[in-house]
Chains A and B, each alone.
Chain A
Amino acid sequence: MDCLCRKISEEKERWVKTTLNKAKCDRRTDENGEDIKVLYTPDDICAIDYLSAIGFPGEYPYTRGVHASMYRGQPWTIRQYSGFATPEETNQRYKYLLKQGQTGLSVAFDLPTQIGYDSDDPMSEGEVGKVGVSVDSLEDMEIIFRDIPLDRMSTSMTINAPAAVLLAMYIAIAKKQGIPSTKLRGTIQNDILKEYTVRGTYIFPPRPSIRLITDIFAFCKDHVPQWNTINVAGYHMREAGCTAVQEIAFSFSNAIAYIEAGIKAGLAVDSFAPRISWIFNTGSRIFEEVAKYRAARRVWAELLKNRFGAKDQRSWMLRYHTQTSGVSLAAQQPENNIVRVAYQALAAVLSGPQSLAACSYDEALALPTEKSVRMSLRTQQIIAHETGVTDTVDPLAGSYYVEYLTNEMAVKINKEIAKIDEMGGAVDAIEKGYIQKEIEERAYIIQKEIDEKKRIVVGVNEYLVDEKVDQALFRVDKKVARQQAAKLKKLKKNRDGQKVQLALEAIRRAAEGNDNMMPLLIEAVNAYATLGEICNTMKCVFGEYRASGWSGR
């Protein structure tokens, strides 16, 4: 500790005794139950070396941001998560959003699509077109992106277990638009490990699922070099209950498993690591959120450089999309959610994301309406144009509190990653149920705190009003399932059945062997094999993952 810091420290002791102790001051704790100091001063951060731990934006370790000029050079991508019902309706919504100034697309698929069932499968009953758009074959993707030039679009697709198939479809429709795959920009989520723990849209067991991921890494580095091959997600684990530190540590551990698999498959780390992107969750606790992202950028850069020996600077950069917290939204007095989303979106922008989605205020009730989605879009535009927070890079840096928190979080994230390493890595930790248990435990504690009013949620357990929520809700028409089923019937009648069979047979053989699956998937989707047919073919070889329930006494 240098001279000045020691002096400040001594003075602070005096201040505590003579001044603070006379004041009323309650106890505050963070998510981990640890005390938050009433005041942070220079001596709290004097041990942090600015040049090595914080540095400059656009340079290692990227604590202050991955780009030198951040939003002075390029605004973040405004990317609202959207998709519902039929491909036709989704196409309309996308055109509307683009016209309203949205700058990238984010495709929400319905659950049958996410789990590899066709719309006419009995398992799809009641779910077709509900939480996203229904895709049964290439035909549907052609409609979703009709009149949207893919060479000028950045498209994110929230798809995991069948990510390779949907990517194959995207490449195929681009070709039909006359656009080579090398020009495509966008992301597939493709992060299977968190599906086993919190999100639930798995199909195959972990091992073959990870093989599909490394096939995508290998194929894209040569053929779709601008595509983000994976979007590792902390978001859903945080939604399910984990802390900010765990959100980063658990998702980093999953990413470590993918990187190790890529290296094991013979890929050089720098050939695929630059295309790893992220999705995280931004809640309402502004300073902790900003510190979380600053710490995450630093930890990731150090991890890639030191642990994996990555030399390409792009491998070190944590580029992320963030969405505001869905679980924080209340069904009671839903207008309050507009305020929650605005604070969360502000926290997000203060942290330096590359892309942002703001939730809509009616999401605790149903899928958002066109009006509520526009409100979220406007929330982002107001932050971008009216608040001035984008005028300088990483504006909260230098705050004693934020720098202290950033450093603390980095230490805690590394500690948690080391714990998972000791268990044998993410796959083993998941198989042992460690991650799931940690998340469930936290969710229960939070609910208890809410029930006991130790945690106030405005409008839910305090400041109640007796009102009937009179909200125009968005509804998916029941006829969507019938329309999709009819379309499938027609498709199967009109396509070249023999070509489909040959393509599926080729997929089966590739699944049994080691050849890269991507070219064969592209061939199959071009022959209009359905998503269900392709996934069933792979299931025959890979098997199906079944999560067990439990019975507790």
Chain B
Amino acid sequence: MTSEKKIRVLAAKPGLDGHDRGVKVICRALRDAGMEVIYTGLRQTPQQIVKTAVEEDVDVIALSILSGAHNELLPKVAGLLKEQQAEQISLLAGGIIPDSDIPYLKKKGIKEVFGPGTSMNTVIDYIKNYCAR
């Protein structure tokens, strides 16, 4: 895909959560699928995440969170994106997020939530389809 513009993804860990096995696996999978991936490392505030996303001009933000702070932190990222008029960036989430929280998160602007057991291809296909639109 040399002539095409590569899909750019920011993978981020909001909050204080240190579980990064999943996010690193996803980073690698997306890169192997031909995307450009930037990983923030741990302990990112919503402000830092949105700032990096805008500066790096990404198409997608993939947020990984397993600490249970998703209902507080994820809508904040969505709100800041809106403030920055960067709502074209697709906001995805993965980690330990109970099914019953997903409707709330979607209402707040999270496009999709990928729970434990999601295959890497599911995430890759979702992002490719989104960016092809």
Q: Which residue of B lies closest to A367 (CB)?
A: B68
Pick from B15, B25, B41: contact of A447, CB below 8 A: B25
A339-392 with Cβ < 8 A to chain B: 364-367
Q: How far is the CA of A380 from the CA of B45 in the complex (A)?
A: 40
B39 → A minimal CB distance (Å): 5
Return chain A residues, CB-CB under 8 Å to B25: 440, 443-444, 447
> Is the beta-carbon distance between B20 and A550 smaller than 8 angstroms?
no
Per-residue CB contact flags for chain B residues 52-91 toward chain A (1 = under 8 Å, else 0) read: 0000100000000001111111000000000000000000
Return chain B residues, CB-CB under 8 Å to A114: 16
> Is the beta-carbon distance between A130 and B31 smaller than 8 angstroms?
no
Per-residue CB contact flags for chain A residues 432-451 toward chain B (1 = under 8 Å, else 0) read: 00000000100110011011
Pick from A115, A126, A440: contact of B28, CB below 8 A: A440
Q: How far is the CA of A199 from the CA of B31 in the complex (A)?
A: 24
Binds A, one of B96-104, B105-113, B125-133: B96-104
Is A269 close to B, CB under 8 A? no
A133 → B minimal CB distance (Å): 13
Q: How far is the CA of A441 from the CA of B72 in the complex (A)?
A: 32
Binds B, one of A148-156, A165-173, A468-476, A508-516: A468-476
Q: How far is the CA of A127 from the CA of B117 in the complex (A)?
A: 24
> Is the beta-carbon distance between A552 and B16 smaller than 8 angstroms?
no
Is A532 close to B, CB under 8 A? no
Return chain B residues, CB-CB under 8 Å to A112: 16
Is A423 close to B, CB under 8 A? no
> Is the beta-carbon distance between B41 and A126 smaller than 8 angstroms?
no
Q: How far is the CA of A327 from the CA of B36 in the complex (A)?
A: 28
B120 → A minimal CB distance (Å): 6
> Is the beta-carbon distance between A330 and B18 smaller than 8 angstroms?
no
Pick from A198, A201, A444, A552: contact of B39, CB below 8 A: A552
> Is the beta-carbon distance between A473 and B67 smaller than 8 angstroms?
no
> Is the beta-carbon distance between B98 and A366 smaller than 8 angstroms?
yes
Is A551 close to B, CB under 8 A? yes
> Is the beta-carbon distance between B40 and A473 smaller than 8 angstroms?
no
Pick from A117, A126, A239, A366: contact of B73, CB below 8 A: A126
Pick from A126, A440, A547: contact of B42, CB below 8 A: A547
Return chain A residues, CB-CB under 8 Å to B42: 200, 547
Is A131 close to B, CB under 8 A? yes
Pick from A127, A198, A330, A365: contact of B16, CB below 8 A: A127
Pick from B16, B69, B72, B121: contact of A115, CB below 8 A: B16
> Is the beta-carbon distance between B36 and A553 smaller than 8 angstroms?
yes
Pick from B16, B19, B20, B70: contact of A123, CB below 8 A: B16
> Is the beta-carbon distance between A552 and B99 smaller than 8 angstroms?
no
> Is the beta-carbon distance between B96 and A365 smaller than 8 angstroms?
yes
Is A332 close to B, CB under 8 A? yes
Per-residue CB contact flags for chain B residues 12-53 toward chain A (1 = under 8 Å, else 0) read: 000111111100110111010000111111110100000000
> Is the beta-carbon distance between A331 and B116 smaller than 8 angstroms?
yes
Given A126-B15, A366-B96, A551-B37, verify A443-B21 contact (CB < 8 Å): yes
Is B119 close to A, CB under 8 A? yes
Given A331-B117, A547-B41, verify A199-B18 contact (CB < 8 Å): yes
> Is the beta-carbon distance between B96 and A552 smaller than 8 angstroms?
no
A183-239 with Cβ < 8 A to chain B: 195, 198-201, 239
Return chain A residues, CB-CB under 8 Å to B19: 200
> Is the beta-carbon distance between B15 and A444 smaller than 8 angstroms?
no
Given A125-B73, A127-B16, A131-B67, verify A330-B28 contact (CB < 8 Å): no
Q: How far is the CA of A127 from the CA of B45 in the complex (A)?
A: 12
Return chain A residues, CB-CB under 8 Å to B43: 115, 123, 200
Pick from A111, A198, A448: contact of B67, CB below 8 A: A111
Is A179 close to B, CB under 8 A? no
> Is the beta-carbon distance between B45 and A331 smaller than 8 angstroms?
no
Q: How far is the CA of A303 from the CA of B71 in the complex (A)?
A: 48
Return chain B residues, CB-CB under 8 Å to A547: 41-42
Q: Which residue of A lies closest to B44 (CB)?
A: A549
Return chain B residues, CB-CB under 8 Å to A131: 67-68
Per-residue CB contact flags for chain A residues 299-315 toward chain B (1 = under 8 Å, else 0) read: 00000000000000000
> Is the beta-carbon distance between B39 and A127 smaller than 8 angstroms?
no
Q: How far is the CA of A93 from the CA of B87 in the complex (A)?
A: 44
B33 → A minimal CB distance (Å): 12
Is A460 close to B, CB under 8 A? yes
> Is the beta-carbon distance between A331 and B115 smaller than 8 angstroms?
yes
Given A200-B17, A330-B116, verify A473-B121 contact (CB < 8 Å): no
Q: How far is the CA of A131 from the CA of B65 in the complex (A)?
A: 12
> Is the beta-carbon distance between B41 and A364 smaller than 8 angstroms?
no
A535-553 with Cβ < 8 A to chain B: 547-553
Return chain A residues, CB-CB under 8 Å to B56: 551
Is A241 close to B, CB under 8 A? yes
Is A485 close to B, CB under 8 A? no
17 cross-chain CB contacts under 8 A = A117-B16, A126-B72, A330-B116, A364-B96, A366-B98, A440-B25, A444-B24, A444-B25, A444-B29, A457-B117, A476-B68, A547-B42, A549-B39, A550-B41, A551-B38, A552-B27, A552-B31
A residues with CB within 8 A of B: 111-112, 114-115, 117, 122-127, 130-131, 195, 198-201, 239-241, 327, 330-332, 364-367, 440, 443-444, 447-448, 450-451, 457, 460-461, 468-469, 473, 476, 547-553
Given contacts A448-B120, A552-B27, 11 further A-B contacts (CB under 8 A): A115-B43, A126-B67, A127-B16, A200-B43, A201-B18, A240-B20, A330-B116, A331-B115, A331-B116, A468-B99, A547-B42
Top 5 nearest A-B pairs by Cβ distance? A200-B18, A126-B72, A126-B69, A549-B41, A111-B16
